[in-house]
Amino acid sequence: MNKNKMWGGRFGASPSEIMQEINASIDTDRRFAAQDIDGSRAHARMLGETGIISREDAAKILDGLNTIASELDDGSFPYRVEFEDIHLNVEARLTELIGAAAGRLHTGRSRNDQVATDFRLWVRDAIDRVLTGLAALQTALVDQAENHAETIMPGFTHLQTAQPVTFGHHCLAYVEMFERDMGRFSDARRRLNESPLGAAALAGTSFPIDRDMTAKTLGFDAPMRNSLDAVSDRDFALETANAATICAAHLSRLAEEIVVWCSAQFAFVQLPDDLTTGSSIMPQKRNPDAAELIRAKTGRVNGAAIALLTMMKGLPLAYSKDMQEDKQPVFDAVDSLELSLTAMTAMITALTVHKDNMAVAAAQGFSTATDLADWLVRVLKMPFRDAHHTTGTLVALAEKKGIALDALTLQDMQSVEKRITEDVYSVLSVENSVKSRVSAGGTAPERVREMVSFWQNRLK
């Protein structure tokens, strides 16, 4: 006879070794053992309250589940591969603890709605952890922005010097990105917060269950409205994985900048020894490996989202065993993202900024050329396109002479545009350039301080 008492009544033989190996998911889904216990507690209480099972049996089941929860906490729970998933493992252990009453727990419930409930609970908890991690990273960035509201650095386009900005302004750009990430995760959490429990295998159940009760007990807003959708939907996992890909891309961009800034060629920032590694052959090296690994983990997060989407794209309603493979990509994506957030927060917090190197770099590459063009428009009333052309000519002249734009003499400038006056030099320093960018969202120190205050209040 089939050894699996949980589902083997229909079968005359036990699963083959290869069938058992490919069918088992306990090594993966044991990660939401706590959620499985929570779901079973809610279901057992409801069964007892509605009289579907006796209050005595419900009490025994709850006592047994509490014992199992303790075993899970202290690591003594006896996982067994012959019970292919966490649900059957818990039920088997419950039977050992309380006997026949354990068989009543699954009344009005299927593994299909059970796993869907467990998975939603796990993803909801994961989103809450990610939101906490994002807030911590934002706080670290805001702290750096406050400290460096006046620290001048080159702003880049195409990785070419464009215009001077402040390092504080640069940090706040990432705060904005991560705020949008928080919005995406929060939206995903709101949409997933409906309960599949009670949908049973796919069609609901004939028992007079109270789905509102179990939904409320588990912190869901309401039961899902369609039993087919309840057991087969994985939108919540897809949406969370996709939110993770965008967040990971933002982390990767910041990681790339840290790698570049730490190089000897830039020398804008330095990471402490405990957040870098050395070389086995080159004793001078201090490698920003944490940043590089964050960059790499973006590929894992992206891959997880694609794997899940590919797995789901051709499945008919309702449940198919393919969906057993839905959890591992999500677990991996969340693990990678949480670790990346923690590592990035540590790096941003510990970052030493080399202000002098940034300032020197900001003055290179004719970074105040736009300020000169704006002066020509504002003071000489030139059309901007004419001012752009005149400024380009002056840049070419300075480049030919091998000097900075503000090192051109007034005679040099008047050889290109005779109306230029001594006042032009007031806009050609990087300090004055930065101070002048006072438009909303601009890089002027006063605007940066305003945004620091805004984010400090928002992040409280």
Any idea which residues carry the catalytic annotation? 158, 279
How far is Cα 367 from Cα 371, in angstroms, rounded to an integer? 9
| Phi/psi of residue 194, nearest 5 degrees | -125, 145
Q: Strand, helix or coil at 271?
A: coil
CB atoms inside a 10 Å sphere around CB 440: 7
> Using CB atoms within 10 A of its CB, is residue 99 exposed (0-12), middle (13-18) or buried (19+)?
exposed
Among 398, 376, 404, residue whose Cα is nearest residue 389: 376
Do residues 367 and 420 make contact, with C-beta atoms less than 8 angstroms apart?
no
CA distance 251 to 337: 9
Residue 31 · residue 126 · CB < 8 Å? no
Report d(CA 20, CA 53) in Å as an integer. 33
**Residue 258: C-alpha distances to residues 150, 179, 253, 339 (Å):** 20, 20, 9, 17
What is the number of other CB atoms lying within 10 angstroms of the CB of residue 57? 21
Per DSSP, the three-state class of 195 is strand
For residue 379, report the phi and psi dihedrals to the nearest 5 degrees: -95, -45
How does DSSP assign 112-173, residue by residue? HHHHHHHHHHHHHHHHHHHHHHHHHHHHHHHHHHHHTSS-EEEEEETTEEEEEEEHHHHHHH
**Tokens 């309840």, residue located:** 230
Give the separation between CA 418 and CA 380, rounded to whole angstroms.
Answer: 11
